[in-house]
Every structure is written in structure tokens, then in C-alpha cells.
Structure 1
Amino acid sequence: MSETADSLIEVLREQCLIQGQNGIKGLSVVFRAMDIDYSKRIVYEELKIALEKFGLLMSENYLRTLFNALDLNDSGGIDFCEFMHKLRPSLKQCRIDVINEAFEKLDVNKDEAIMIDDLQVIYSTNAKQHPKFISGEWTEEQVLRNFLDSIDTPGNPDGKVTREEFMNYYAGVSVTVDDDSYFDLMMRACYGLPIRGS
């Protein structure tokens, strides 16, 4: 891949990250909206419209270079997974390790996807402390589904979160936390993981 293509992807990533942990998720929502035929891929013209809606304007030449960089298999369209993989910020190995540890804890039945039945086993106590559960507004299942949808692919929650979706979500969170030790501690506290060295 050319240096220009890499730098354009970096610019797009930075524009998303400026908007905080949901920036990349926000762009993926726009991407999904452009996928009119539900093919999970968009063509050049759709990418142009999506970026304009997201507030990013590029020259035709730059946009073509970006499109070619994101179309990894030269199919004439950008696959959603290709798109998210390219935009995900790089993570240090220590952060990848703790994110994977959290995923593995939540994936009770070890099928590489977190679903409601996994959360009912491992996250039920947390669900029962949610204000909407306590008030009677939501059932335990609604609380768990809300949690699942918050980390699922935006605009297309399907009731299961893959390892890739989990990693994408926490890659966005990661950029908001400078200190590796704090990120590790935050993940461990959130998911009840053992503290290192204990």
C-alpha cells in the first residue's frame, strides 16, 4: 500500500477519533446507512456520500486513493469488516491481552460470540443493579440486551458480539485512556478480572 493511501487512512482514523470513543462507531453507522442493498459493502460513490455526511470532504484523487486502499481485495467495493479493520487504531499488546481476557470471560460457552445467554451467567448481578431494572422499567434481559447493543456493531445490532466487534469497541475506548496500567485496571474492574500479580 502506498504511503499516500496509508496517510489518508490515518487522516480518516484521526477524524473519527477526534469525536471520542464513538467516532469510528459513528462512521460505521453512516457506512451501514449507505449500504442500501444490505450487501455489507459499499462502492466508490457510496463512500463519497458517506464521508460527506460524516463531514469529511476530499478531492476526487484523494478519495479514489482512499477507496483503493480500503478495497483490500480489489472487488470494486469496500467490505464492512475490511473497513473496520483498517480504521481500528493500533493497540499495544498489553491492551489486546486484557481485552481478549475480558471477551473470554464473557464468552461463557466459548463459541467466539457474546450473547444474552452468556451475559445471564456472568453479568446478571450487574444487570440487577442497573437503575432501570431497579425501577422496574426494564427486565434483566432488556438491561443485558442494552449492554450487548452498546458494544455491538452500530446500526446493525444482531444480538451477538464477536471478538472482532469487542476489539473494535475497546480500540475506540483505548484511545481515550493514555496510561496502559489505568486501561488494564479499568478493564479488570469492569469485568471482574483478577488483578495482575494477585
Structure 2
Amino acid sequence: MYKQVKIEHKRVFELLEKMRDQCLLKGVGGLKSLAVVFRRMDTDFSKCLCYQEFEEGLKLYGVQFDKSDLRMLFDSFDRDRNKRIDFLELIAKLRPPMSKLRTDVINEAFDLLDANKDGVLKLEDLKIVYSTNARRHPKFVSGEWTEEQVLRNFLDSIDTPGNPDGKVTREEFMNYYAGVSSTVDDDSYFDLMMRACYGLPNRGS
């Protein structure tokens, strides 16, 4: 019995790795794209999916598993056996592994941008803390975009693709930068990159 559980646990890990690789092949926004597919399946806004919705979502995204693997993956997340899974928990599991240094600096950047401290980034937040950066944008300098258009474009680039609502949660922010993180090998370089991008103080200063 114990041996069988161990084998199944290993297989679930392999399936998650396969899904993660499929997401990363779609670029830094791949994880967000999968989240969008699942959100569209979640017609009652419960943040949960039944098996059929889960299966259809993965097919729509382009990930193919055989029936036994798909069932095993679903059951591994259906811990209370209510035939539904929390897809946000699944997305969190699919994030490429990141060191504490990386997650800390991503959270630090989010906290800086979240001027209203309500856990959601909105245009109003960015107008308070990011307007100087917006005025340096080439399209603002050329007069093609207003400051508000620059800030909205920034939000939309991190927001749910195909369905931006002008709000970015910490989860969406973390998912986006988990994709970026997967393209950067060195922890220290990723940390410096984030600090330079958002004007965060250097560590120890």
C-alpha cells in the first residue's frame, strides 16, 4: 500500500512538471494563460473546477494527458473528495520553483506598488507610486500615449491575458514574475533586475 502511494506521488510530481514545462514553452505569460483558461471554465466564480471542466480546460490550453494520468492529477488535488479542485492552488503548484530571495523581492515590488495597501494593484495605486516611470516611457515622451495609457498598459501586461480587468492581485503578480524568473538563472541578477525595475532599495541599504 505504502509503495503504491509512493509511486502515485512520484507520478503526480512528473505530471505537474510536464504541465509546468508546457506553460513555460508559451513564454513568461504561460502560467497566466492557463489561469485564464481555468477562470473561463469557472462559470460560477467558485475558483473550483469539476473533473470535466478540468479536462476541457487542459485540452483548450493544449496539454494532453491520458485518462488515468488526468484522473490521478485531479484526485491529488481533490483532498476532501468533493469532486472539485481549487484551481488557484493548482496554479500555485505549477509555478517554477523560486528561492526565498526571489519571492521576497517580488513581494517587495508588489508592496511598493500597492499604494492603497488593499492587496490589489489598480490604476489609482500606480498614479501614486509609478507615475515618474510612466513619464519615461517612449510612447509618453513621443506624445503617442497619455500617462494613464502607459500605466494601464503596464497593468494589462501583468493582468489576466485576454480578460484584463484593470486589477492585478498578488497571485497574478507572482505568477507573472515566476515566468520571468524561469528565464533568469542567477538569483542575485534577478534580485538586482527587480530592484532596478521598481526602484527598490538595495539589500542592506
Q: How high is the TM-score relative to the length of structure 1?
A: 0.88
RMSD: 2.1
- Give the AA of the match of 2:18: V
- Residue 203 of structure 2 aligns to a residue in which SS? coil
Q: Does 1:133 align with 2:140?
A: yes
Name the structure 2 match of 1:54.
61
Among 147, 170, 173, the alignment partner of 1:166 is 173
Q: How high is the TM-score relative to the length of structure 2?
A: 0.85
Task: Give the aligned length.
Answer: 198
Name the structure 1 match of 2:3.
none
1:91-170 equivalences in 2 (<5 Å):
91-170=98-177
For 2:137 and 2:87, locate their aligned partners in 1 and report how far apart those are by CA, in whole Å: 33
For 1:22 and 1:72, locate their aligned partners in 2 and report how far apart those are by CA, in whole Å: 28
- Residue 168 of structure 2 aligns to a residue in which SS? strand
Q: 1:172 deviation in Å?
A: 1.2
**1:114 and 1:160 in contact (8 A); partners too:** yes
Identity of aligned residues (%): 62
Name the structure 2 match of 1:85.
92
For 2:44 and 2:116, locate their aligned partners in 1 and report how far apart those are by CA, in whole Å: 34
Q: 1:196 deviation in Å?
A: 2.5
- Give the AA of the match of 1:117: E
Q: Which runs of 5+ in 1 are unaligned?
A: none
For 1:150 and 1:72, locate their aligned partners in 2 and report how far apart those are by CA, in whole Å: 34
Deviates more, 1:37-46 or 1:79-88: 37-46
For 1:46 and 1:116, locate their aligned partners in 2 and report how far apart those are by CA, in whole Å: 33
Counterparts in 2 of 1:40 and 1:154: CA distance versus 1, 3 Å? farther
Q: 1:93 deviation in Å?
A: 0.6
For 2:78 and 2:92, locate their aligned partners in 1 and report how far apart those are by CA, in whole Å: 12
**1:16 and 1:24 in contact (8 A); partners too:** yes
For 2:169 and 2:37, locate their aligned partners in 1 and report how far apart those are by CA, in whole Å: 21
